[in-house]
Structure 1
Amino acid sequence: MSTVDKSIITDPALAPEGHLKIDWASAHMPVLNTIKAQFEKEKPFTGLKVAISLHLEAKTAYLAKVVQAGGAEVTITGSNPLSTQDDVCAALVEDGITVFAKYNPDAAEFKALNMKALECKPDLLIDDGGDLATLLHSECKNLAVNLRGGAEETTTGIIRLKAMEKDGTLQFPMVAVNDAYCKYLFDNRYGTGQSVFDGINRTTNLVVAGKTVVVVGYGWCGKGVAMRAKGLGANVIVTEIDAIKAVEAYMDGFAVMPMLEAAKLGDMFITVTGNRDVIRGEHFEVMKDGAILSNAGHFDVEVNKVELEAQSNEKRTVRRNIEQYAMKNGRSIYLLAEGRLVNLAAGDGHPAEIMDMTFALQAMSLKYVNEHYKEIGSKVVNVPYELDEQVARLKLQSLGFGIDSLTEEQAAYLDSWAEGE
């Protein structure tokens, strides 16, 4: 059966536009291009089936094609209902990749599409948020019979996987790609920082300069969002539960306060915590008329939509990806992209040059876990430093930059405890 016959997508006729998007992305992903050339020669995944769950847009599509170039039979599904691009799905099907994904399915269909992707009984896995891994440990245990291991893209997924490992229920090794230096230093900071405001600005068509932007959470994503908000001319407030990160935000030049205080001052709110209900009923009650809420964490639970709706008289869509909640006290609060990832649900996600490094790590980590799954065992492991550094070196080469190396004397000096003068 061909991939066309097996796949479930919205419209095969959209493929030409999808190909253009993928071609544009791949032209700006030199590191992944290098790895693709290596995979075409080495064929590290020959005879293996790989299931992928990621935000299904052009850059992800190119990663799928790189894995396919390594000899794999690839099946892909979306990791978020609103980030799937139907034209990209159609293009992948034309390229021989099985796709189970549509833009904006309801919750039941979204889950069913994820489960269909696992029916190939994959040997390897690339996951984003732990959705596929969770299914393979629950309703789809019978589909994990061939699974050697996989790689996880984001903080939320790693939290779920480590909880499984702690409980002794994790059944296969997973590489924590999110925790690699080339992921969180660049993707989480520069990628999220830029793409969040790409999504907000194209959706609202409002100015950021002069507004008070509340960044909820000061991890690597929060740092990037705060930095970009400041660069756009906003007054930035950071809220945190971690005292060390709060001090860091203060020393980076941002106001720091509890969420209940920040809620009274903010014009725009951006959540990046990976936790639930960080903006909730007590905060909605004191917000300004016209406050704009958005989320850049993986799941749509950071803004409590149930409590927001309970405090409103009416909800209506006033612009694509903007819902207005008419509050009972006469104010309006606006929620972007249904509280889902604003940078992907209302934008195109991270820049191609950023995802070039992240997806290079994904490809190399998949190769690593395939070669070492027996010795790793059922654990969550970090990306080996040599792979992280390899991706950074390839990135530097693509930019035309070089770096220094230690002389023999310098290396000996650093290795010796006796030399201190």
Structure 2
Amino acid sequence: MPPFDVPEGDPFGPHNLPYGVFSIPGTQERTVGVRLGDHVLDAGAAAHALGSPYASLLARPTLNPLLAAGRTAWSDVRRALTAWVTVPSHRETLAPLLHPLSSVTLHLPFEVADYVDFYASENHARNVGRIFRPDAADSLTPNWKHLPIGYHGRSGTVVVSGTDVVRPSGQRKAPADAAPVFGPSVRLDIEAEVGFVVGVPSEPGSPVALGDFREHVFGLCLLNDWSARDVQAWEYVPLGPFLGKSFATSVSAWITPLDALEEARVSPPERTHELLPYLDDTNGEGDGPGGYDLRISVAVNGHVVSEPPFSTMYWTAAQQLAHMTVNGASLRTGDLYGSGTVSGPAERERGSLLELTWNGRDPLELPDGKRTFLEDGDVVTLSAWAPGPGGTRVGLGEVTGRVVGRAAQR
């Protein structure tokens, strides 16, 4: 089938067009690409061939110049790309610029500036509270319904889908142990998340309001924030996650622009506590509902173990951005922030093994054996789709990673 003739129902049709960065065999040169079905279009070469004024933004080895260009440029480029791949008169020009996905190498699509991870799912937060504070009167911490809880992670260990994840080592101490020990984590976990990619920076000292979310955020992607639960449990009091989280964060090779997800916008869950004005999204501020209806699947070694619904997230991406900058912290092009683990109310909707196995109490039954936490050789894959125009589906690029031991790495 010709690359332009994407099969009906393909989640990567012309209604989607996510952005990535790729190279072709025999060269180290990287360039911006746009996915169409099972092909990738060399966007820079296409823009040059068709005389686009945005060619200089697309003929780059990273998405950062396009991210920094702002919302008008984002919309213009998307309209142009849609026309290029749907208008028959462009086919002869563009056909040589379409490469089968199976023939290219995909790279980290943007240079990550800062990385922040949030904790925005009430279902996840309550599950964690019940596991670790079973006798507490409220499974949520007192601040949870008043602000989006987050922490700053390590941007240098954000890796593209397909990158192996080396099992981390660190200190761990079980409650009954007399002293901590050092060694590889024995409770390696995943966190099914959605990452939001910042394009336009902000000035230091100038908070970003809820209504300005779409002026700064270019798009989103799937994100797996790997977690060494045993290392984290020993180190996180009183300053929070550190070595238990900083060793690897996997992101998709494809960034879906927010403009492709208009049909997926939904209202977040009902607010149960009055919010301070800078977080209050009940007064209609902004340009539409702040939630997104993303249907995520989590598979371990090809076996689906969970299907977390992103529409249940209590705190929206706009609220997270507003809170992240309310103290005057500035945004930079390439900033990435994760939603936190996505978990729904049902057992098969939990976004981490910590919850799925209830901290190891209830092992998962997989075709290749039981699992409480990840073993070396396990492959974790996150995939997702969202409702699109006219009953279509908008596919999100998958995130996959294989756990390897340090001996295998050497």
Which TM-score tier does this pair reach, normalised by the shorter chain? Answer: under 0.3
In terms of fraction of residues, the more strand-rich structure is: 2
Q: Which has the higher contact order (CA 8 A, sep 6+)?
A: 2
In terms of fraction of residues, the more helix-rich structure is: 1
TM-score by length of structure 1 reads: 0.24
TM-score by length of structure 2 reads: 0.25
